[in-house]
């Protein structure tokens, strides 16, 4: 695993990632892309634990178990309906109110994203509680693309508090791809402090979704951003940015163009390609 070699105040140029990190980012994107599939019987070739969803918010996804890597992976789908669009548009910043979770008093998150997470949180945590009893050494991983990436961050924050890490388990990790800003600076700093190098936020070239919710509304990205700044995707065209989340040398340097072609492809994989066999 690569370690963070820059801080938010380093001011240096972003550095290319290793082939191992590139392979890791690609591996977890396959789960994020598969979350768009209505049914995914073998997520990334692994065991399907639960296919979850909410009729109210139209959020869906699955929990997979990888016994080789000893992981329980929660994959959340990105926007795919009118209901999802309405959630995306609910940009008011609100306190993080989820049972069993307590954040710093001034931490605020996107109201629509929080409503989406809360609509499936009980299904997910109930299934994970059972799986953790059966597989106590498996770490928790959350993944998602677009809206799903923002939800993956909220999920990771929740699961980290709800499920304490045992001595034989690696701590929770989270991987987001093309995700919009999910909360304010206090929330971002909390994520950075709790996850550090275990939070991976990937942006493809000029994808406009990660910056579609502007900082002028009080929002702030968490780190660590991995920016594929050129095509085709490779370790040499993907850089690790400053740990603070709003590196001026990375994707934040490009004004948002909204949903564009770059948002539909990550690491050479077109969304929603299923990896379900």
In a domain, 257, yes or no: yes
Q: Is residue 6 part of a domain?
A: no
Q: Which of 138, 220, 222, 263 is catalytic?
A: 263
In CATH, what number is assigned to the domain containing residue 258? Answer: 3.40.50.1820
Q: What is the DSSP string of the chain?
A: -PPP---TT-----EEPPHHHHHHHHHHHHHHHHTTSS--SSGGGSEEEEEEE-TTT--EEEEEEETTTTEEEEEE----SHHHHHHHH---EEE---TT----TT-EEEHHHHHHHHHHHHHHHHHHHHHHHH-TTPEEEEEEETHHHHHHHHHHHHHHHHSPPPTTSPPPEEEEESPPP-BBHHHHHHHHHHHGGGEEEEEETT-SGGGTS-GGGTB---S-EEEE-SSSP-GGGEEE--TTS--TTTGGGS----S-GGGGEETTEETT-----
The pLDDT value recorded for residue 229 is 97
Q: Would you state the pLDDT for residue 140?
A: 97
**Has residue 1 been placed in a domain?**
no
**Residue 34 · residue 269 · CB < 8 Å:** no
Whether 66 is a known active-site residue: answer no
Number of folded domains that form the chain: 1
In a domain, 79, yes or no: yes
Q: Is 10 tagged catalytic?
A: no
Asked, for residue 3, whether it belongs to a domain, the answer is no
Note the pLDDT of residue 253.
95
- 277 found inside a domain: no
CB within 8 Å of 85: residues ≥ 6 apart? 79
Q: What is the sign of the dihedral through the CA atoms of 212, 198, 158 and 144? A: positive
Give me the pLDDT at residue 167, please. Answer: 64
Give a yes or no: residue 8 inside a domain. Answer: no
The answer to whether residue 7 is domain-embedded is no
Print the domain residue range for 239. Answer: 15-270
Task: Note if the pTM is more than 0.75.
Answer: yes
One digit per residue, the tens of pLDDT, for the chain of length 277 reads: 333 333 333 456 799 999 999 999 999 999 999 999 999 999 999 999 999 999 999 999 999 999 999 999 999 999 765 555 656 678 999 999 998 999 999 999 999 999 999 999 999 999 999 999 999 999 999 999 999 999 999 999 999 999 988 666 679 999 999 999 999 999 999 999 999 999 999 999 999 999 999 999 999 999 999 999 999 999 999 999 999 999 999 999 999 999 999 999 999 999 999 999 9
pLDDT of residue 1: 34
Tell me which of 146, 158, 251, 256 is the catalytic residue: 146
pLDDT confidence of residue 165: 80
Catalytic residue among 207, 221, 251, 256: 207
263 is catalytic: yes
């Amino acid at each position: 695993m690569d370690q963070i070699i820059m801080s938010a105040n380093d001011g240096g140029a972003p550095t290319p990632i290793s082939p191992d990190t590139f392979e890791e980012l690609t591996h977890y994107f396959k789960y994020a892309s598969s979350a768009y599939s209505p049914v995914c019987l073998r997520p990334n070739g692994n065991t399907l634990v639960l296919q979850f969803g909410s009729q109210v918010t139209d959020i869906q996804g699955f929990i997979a178990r990888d016994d080789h890597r000893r992981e329980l992976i929660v994959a959340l789908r990105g926007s795919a309906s009118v209901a999802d669009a309405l959630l995306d548009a609910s940009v008011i910043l609100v306190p993080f109110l989820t049972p069993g979770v307590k954040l710093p008093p001034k931490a605020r998150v996107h109201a629509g994203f929080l409503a989406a997470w809360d609509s499936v949180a009980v299904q997910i945590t109930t299934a994970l509680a059972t799986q953790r009893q059966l597989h106590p050494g498996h770490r928790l991983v959350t993944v998602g693309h677009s809206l799903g990436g923002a939800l993956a961050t909220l999920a990771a924050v929740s699961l980290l508090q709800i499920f304490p890490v045992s001595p034989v388990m690696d701590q929770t990790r989270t991987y987001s791809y093309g995700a919009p800003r999910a909360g304010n600076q206090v929330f971002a700093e909390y994520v950075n402090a709790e996850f550090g190098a275990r939070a991976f936020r990937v942006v493809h070239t000029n994808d406009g979704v990660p910056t579609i919710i502007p900082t002028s509304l009080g929002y702030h990205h968490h780190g660590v951003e991995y920016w594929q700044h050129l095509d085709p995707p490779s370790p040499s065209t993907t850089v690790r940015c400053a740990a603070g989340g709003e590196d001026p040398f990375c994707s934040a340097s490009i004004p948002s163009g909204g949903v564009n072609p770059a948002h539909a492809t990550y690491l050479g994989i077109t969304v929603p390609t299923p990896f379900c066999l």
